[in-house]
């Protein structure tokens, strides 16, 4: 009995090199662009049984793809790897080239297209030594440091841009502490290592644990919170262009005062950050396993993976993430209770597990990750004390940018609260001590001239740039008896933020008379 040629099946095996086994996804399409399901699949290899014909093997990694068209006319085997991993090129399928501001190299520097040696070697060297000495009479010696490295995608890109500038690329940055006191103005170059030939800068200093802010005062001003954890070393990377590319920001937390471009955990952090930026909170078993073991080497991996898991509907690994969260706070990052990211993680964990609680007091400072700030902001709708009026988290609600997985916003002036300033009532009419002013309609809280001013504010060019004010103005045009609580609930903003905006409107209305 003869066998029809059309029924003959060939074996196609696609193996994944060790350096990519957790990073890539393989998809095979037939000539009709239909997905072909593997008969076997693991993190190491995919196996297919296919008819004779043309197929496309797609390698997905970190939101990038690389396609290779192959002919199946016999049993075949391919390896997903760098072309330098084998002397035979015909059976190699290269993963898409990756780009990271963190100068990651993996097993082969070609994996990351912008990890040039002329940036990587200075970053490694300068991550191990001081460029700046922090002096404060009020602090004890620190075992924590902050390393900042910023550079361009390449020397060629830097050279194509530098002729257009009236000043050097580093001059608009500064670092301040939690009180807004300047630690270093980059314009002075004192305390920095700067290479104006290749286009990079580095800052490194032993600092007391706590929150610091990198502020950019150029054409698109930004403020970025960076937390230095006690007994850990924070490493910050960002790529520059015509303006700083804030979406490329990467922050690692290392047990050692040395940047390791080949650290496996940093590659997974890079992947998870891209997932967060794309609103993808799915975490597969491989990444969960890596995070469970890698959190001791890199707490940032455990933090980001936990953030994503608690935002997802997954429940299968609840016990594991309950343990990870407790270990992060009590063991790995102990003595860092004031960390806004740990506070935010507690909030998401409480929402996920439903039978746990989180601290309701005001959050001091703001998280490094945007998902953490959004957790605090959303929880503040029901727990007003989380975000105090005129605190940094109050102002961020209006000025937040969404082009980075990290928490970036317009620079916020340090607010010094006047002595004995009322927390909630300022700017509103007195209507009785037992009435919650957040529940009363706006028409009963503000004078008609102020309400009319607010209703017309949405046509003002400055107001149009602020989505919060524009939306509130529009809401009052629809219903001026709406309450602060109603606005807070609909916008997922703290009632204290809404109250503060009304205070500002009242002051502004006086100047319009």
User: At 73, which CATH number?
Assistant: 2.60.40.10
Residue 469 lies in domain = 442-510
User: Does one domain contain both 487 and 392?
Assistant: no
User: Does one domain contain both 160 and 232?
Assistant: yes
Q: Which of 262, 280, 301 is where one domain is finished?
A: 262
Instruction: Name the percent of the chain lying above pLDDT 70.
Output: 88
User: Does one domain contain both 359 and 337?
Assistant: yes
User: Does one domain contain both 206 and 308?
Assistant: no
User: Does one domain contain both 288 and 179?
Assistant: no
Per-residue model confidence (pLDDT) at position 459: 57
Tokens of 150: 């910023």
User: Does one domain contain both 257 and 273?
Assistant: no
Q: Which of 367, 399, 431 is where one domain is finished?
A: 399
User: Does one domain contain both 165 and 246?
Assistant: yes
Confidence of residue 429 (pLDDT cuts 50, 70, 90): very low
Which is more confidently placed, 121 or 286? 121
Whether 404 is in a domain gets the answer: no
Whether 414 is in a domain gets the answer: no
The average confidence (pLDDT) of the chain is 87
Whether 451 is in a domain gets the answer: yes
User: Does one domain contain both 123 and 235?
Assistant: yes
**If you count them, how many residues does the chain have?**
513
Separation of alpha carbons 407 and 283, rounded Å: 21
Whether 433 is in a domain gets the answer: no
Whether 504 is in a domain gets the answer: yes
Lowest mean pLDDT, pick from 62-76, 235-249, 369-383: 62-76
Q: Which of 262, 296, 324 is where one domain is finished?
A: 262
Distances (CA, A) of 8 to 13, 27, 52, 57, 86: 16, 22, 8, 20, 31
DSSP single-letter state for residue 9: -
Best CA proximity match to 272, nearest among 214, 312, 223, 241: 312
> pLDDT digit string (tens) for 321-363?
999 999 998 889 998 989 999 999 999 999 998 878 898 999 9
Whether 428 is in a domain gets the answer: no
Whether 432 is in a domain gets the answer: no
User: Does one domain contain both 318 and 362?
Assistant: yes
Give the total number of structural domains in the chain.
4
Instruction: Name the percent of the chain lying above pLDDT 90.
Output: 64
- Does residue 158 have a pLDDT over 80? yes
| Cβ proximity of 220 and 402 under 8 Å | no
CA dihedral 320, 326, 332, 334 (to 10 degrees): 180
Long-range CB contacts (within 8 A, 24+) of 305-308: 305/272, 306/345, 306/348, 306/349, 307/276, 307/344, 307/345, 307/348, 307/369, 307/371, 307/372, 308/272, 308/275, 308/276, 308/281, 308/282, 308/283, 308/371
| Cβ proximity of 494 and 384 under 8 Å | yes
User: Does one domain contain both 245 and 297?
Assistant: no
User: Does one domain contain both 249 and 124?
Assistant: yes
Whether 390 is in a domain gets the answer: yes
According to DSSP, the residues that pair with 202 across neighbouring strands are: 149, 193
- Does residue 370 have a pLDDT over 70? yes
Strand order, beta sheet including 35-36: 35-36, 24-29, 53-61, 64-72
User: Does one domain contain both 236 and 311?
Assistant: no
Give the SS3 label for residue 164. Answer: coil
Separation of alpha carbons 292 and 152, rounded Å: 34
């Amino acid at each position: 009995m003869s066998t029809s040629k059309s029924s003959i099946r060939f074996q196609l095996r696609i193996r994944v090199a060790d350096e990519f086994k957790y990073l890539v996804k393989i998809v095979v399409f037939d000539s009709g662009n239909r997905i072909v399901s593997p008969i076997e699949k693991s993190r190491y290899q995919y196996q297919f049984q296919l008819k004779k014909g043309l197929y496309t093997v797609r390698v997905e990694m970190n939101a990038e793809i690389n396609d290779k068209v192959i002919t199946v006319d016999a049993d075949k085997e391919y390896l997903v790897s760098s072309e330098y991993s084998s002397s035979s090129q015909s059976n190699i399928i290269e993963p898409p080239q990756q780009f990271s501001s963190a100068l990651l190299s993996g097993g082969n520097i070609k994996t990351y297209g912008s990890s040039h040696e002329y940036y990587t070697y200075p970053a490694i060297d300068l991550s191990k030594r001081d460029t700046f000495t922090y002096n404060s009479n009020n602090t004890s010696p620190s075992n924590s440091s902050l390393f900042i490295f910023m550079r361009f995608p390449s020397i060629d890109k830097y050279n194509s841009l530098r002729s257009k500038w009236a000043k050097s690329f580093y001059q608009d940055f500064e670092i301040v502490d939690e009180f807004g006191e300047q630690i270093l103005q980059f314009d002075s170059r004192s305390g920095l290592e700067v290479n104006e030939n290749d286009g990079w800068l580095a800052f490194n200093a032993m600092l007391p644990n706590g929150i610091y802010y990198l502020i950019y005062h150029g054409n698109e001003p930004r403020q970025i919170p960076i937390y230095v954890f006690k007994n850990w070393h924070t490493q910050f990377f960002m790529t520059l262009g015509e303006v700083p590319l804030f979406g490329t920001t990467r922050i690692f937390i290392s047990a050692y005062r040395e940047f390791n471009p080949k650290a496996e955990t940093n590659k997974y952090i890079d992947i998870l950050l891209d997932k967060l930026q794309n609103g993808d909170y799915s975490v597969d078993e491989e990444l969960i396993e890596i995070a469970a073991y890698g959190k001791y080497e890199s707490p940032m991996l455990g933090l980001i993976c936990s953030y994503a898991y608690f935002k997802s509907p997954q429940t299968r690994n609840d016990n594991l993430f309950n343990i990870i969260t407790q270990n992060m706070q009590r063991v790995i990052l102990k003595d860092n209770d004031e960390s806004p990211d740990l506070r935010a993680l507690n909030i998401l964990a409480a929402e996920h597990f439903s039978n746990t609680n989180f601290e309701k007091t005001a959050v001091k400072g703001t998280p490094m990750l945007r998902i953490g700030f959004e957790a605090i902001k959303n929880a503040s709708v029901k727990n007003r004390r989380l975000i105090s009026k005129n605190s940094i988290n109050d102002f961020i609600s209006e000025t937040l940018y969404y082009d980075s997985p990290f928490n970036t916003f317009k620079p916020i002036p340090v607010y010094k609260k006047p002595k004995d300033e009322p927390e909630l009532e300022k700017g509103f009419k007195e209507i009785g001590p037992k009435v919650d002013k957040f529940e009363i309609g706006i028409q009963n809280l503000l004078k008609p001239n102020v309400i009319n001013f607010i209703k017309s504010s949405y046509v003002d060019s400055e107001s149009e740039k602020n989505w919060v004010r524009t939306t509130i103005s529009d809401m009052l045009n629809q219903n001026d008896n709406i309450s602060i609580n109603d606005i807070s609930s609909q916008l997922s903003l703290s009632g204290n933020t809404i109250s503060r905006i009304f205070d500002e409107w009242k002051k502004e209305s006086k100047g319009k008379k």
